[in-house]
Structure 1
């Protein structure tokens, strides 16, 4: 039913059906809704609301000598010009695209884009009506009203996000800014929070919180071509079902002033715990034998049959190291020359140390370097969550593993 134009059999000079509809709504004196009156005249409630608003504006503008109409028309023209500018000027708009480009003041990517549209509608709804603006922006009125209805829930979520971000920052600072998404998520769950990892990732990204990343280090293994290597008893299988089943070790270095401090480690593959280490200003065989003897002592001196895996550096292929290993019943294992993947667990351990404790430091004295490294080694064993251990620390995993074994024996 066309109420705006002349129909066949209807005189053009007759009173406008629009005016009749407005008069009908006014005659109800507020006792009937827009929708109820609009149903009688065959239009939508929003259309009738718009007609009433326009009639009121026309009455006020007539009383003010037409000033209000001009102001409204100017505002409407400004809005149309702004929307036209957005369609044409924003980057990324396709040919004959009807909406502004993503990233503009009205349309943004994801939820933020729709929020921008809904805010725009709320800002101008009193002047131009929801229906008209929704039509121009290409969105549904029902979507807008749903957005309005969810305002309280969004505010509650914003408050919850702010509280979560504060806790993320505290965890991040407590671990020297080294933790990334996965470890912070594990820490939150360890504190009893039920939170989705993607939510943690989003909040960290939005707030510029990120873990440390380290560039690939240069290789330091110097093989002894004349020494007989031990067989590879691990073949890249860095898993063990029990403590003292498999160990691995490696050497790295740290710059101290104009010289170097060298480190050797021994790691239990089952618990990922550092059980032996040594530091020296040289790379002689004593560096690795001292770390191995510390590991044996930490296990009570009885480690018969344990596999110790390392690379083919001259320290590990030396006769002195073989003699110490044999004395404790340790079975030596070695990877191939030049393949860091054959000793990936130890390589990963050194990367963690350098990324989290050394990367941003400049050591002047050996004492300063030793203290910083020792603090991190203690932190690694007792507090640092390990992805291979279900994000438990090595000490926590060891305790859990031993409890499980005792329960199994008791059963």
Structure 2
């Protein structure tokens, strides 16, 4: 009998059974839309899940959220998906007074716990001279606007000659202040978020004030705070010898008298040298040099070379 060869019949794969609990395509789309929405683009699935539960909403389990994101190759650091604005490092240079001002607001403790007064201070970064200040019961854009306008008028600031630098507080970035600066022709500059070194002059001035031996732990009233600040700023501007400006007073640098003061100091040193040269090892002593520039974030060596 003739042998008949038969080819094996290829097995036909049965259609994959869809898990009974699997999400439908519409449900998958809803979950992914939630995960990729702007409000949640910066959040991990566990945080999204908890937030939705707090709002009385359930869209999927945490593991399902991870699985869907993995299927879309989106499980890596999700914070990269939310684009935060990039803030440029402020680089400001002053070579004369009234070229760059720095301003800030600090709190002064009031008579009882939980109360405070607000001290606004505008400082010239080249001379370290406090050009304007105000103590008030509250912080507001309107008060800041008033102080800036009054100070600019007092210092006779011409349009296009001054930059005003501040941190990113609400008063500093307020519309009234921005409008005023635009009207006066004053450029504005702001620190980067969470970078205290971008406003070093104001920070240092507040530290000098609060570390003075006579600085009160609390002020009994706004009048007391104003009286203390008036006395302090008079001393600071007219008597305080500042290490950052050649041990000159801020007033002498701001008013242009520093060169004459240095000349007098040098004459005194020369006289002492003539009388007792051996004290100085026969080398003429030199008075400290005057400042030639004040920077907020000087450019790096690489940037200068470029």
**TM-score normalised to the size of structure 2?**
0.52
Unmatched segments (≥5 aa) in structure 2: 1-84, 261-306
More strand by share: 2
Residue of structure 2 in register with 1:244 after alignment: 98
CA displacement, residues 251-307 of structure 1 (integer Å, 9 cap, x when unaligned): 101012122110111111111101111111111112322221232022124253311
CA contact (8 A) 1:229 1:334 kept: no
More helix by share: 1
User: Does residue 325 of the first structure (1) align with residue 152 of the second (2)?
Assistant: no
- Aligned equivalents of 2:127 and 2:237: distance in 1? 10
- Note the aligned Cα RMSD (angstroms): 2.4
Q: Do the aligned partners of residues 315 and 229 (structure 1) sit closer, same or farther apart at CA in structure 2, a change above 3 Å counting?
A: farther
- Aligned equivalents of 2:89 and 2:126: distance in 1? 18
Aligned partner of 2:193 among 313, 318, 337: 337
The Cα of 1:361 is off from its aligned counterpart by: 4.0
Residue of structure 2 in register with 1:388 after alignment: 244
CA contact (8 A) 1:385 1:393 kept: yes
- Aligned equivalents of 2:148 and 2:170: distance in 1? 16
Residue of structure 1 in register with 2:277 after alignment: none
- Aligned equivalents of 1:307 and 1:232: distance in 2? 15
Residue of structure 2 in register with 1:364 after alignment: 220
**TM-score normalised to the size of structure 1?**
0.39
User: Does residue 255 of the first structure (1) align with residue 109 of the second (2)?
Assistant: yes
CA contact (8 A) 2:108 2:218 kept: no
Aligned partner of 1:279 among 110, 135, 141: 135
Residue of structure 1 in register with 2:275 after alignment: none
- Aligned equivalents of 1:244 and 1:348: distance in 2? 19
Q: Give the structure with higher Rg (CA).
A: 1
CA contact (8 A) 1:261 1:280 kept: yes
The Cα of 1:230 is off from its aligned counterpart by: 8.6
Residue of structure 2 in register with 1:316 after alignment: 172
Report how many aligned residue pairs link the two structures: 174
Q: Relative contact order: is structure 1 or structure 2 higher (C-alpha 8 Å, sep ≥ 6)?
A: 2
CA displacement, residues 103-139 of structure 1 (integer Å, 9 cap, x when unaligned): xxxxxxxxxxxxxxxxxxxxxxxxxxxxxxxxxxxxx
CA displacement, residues 154-207 of structure 1 (integer Å, 9 cap, x when unaligned): xxxxxxxxxxxxxxxxxxxxxxxxxxxxxxxxxxxxxxxxxxxxxxxxxxxxxx
Q: Do the aligned partners of residues 317 and 358 (structure 1) sit closer, same or farther apart at CA in structure 2, a change above 3 Å counting?
A: farther
Residue of structure 2 in register with 1:375 after alignment: 231
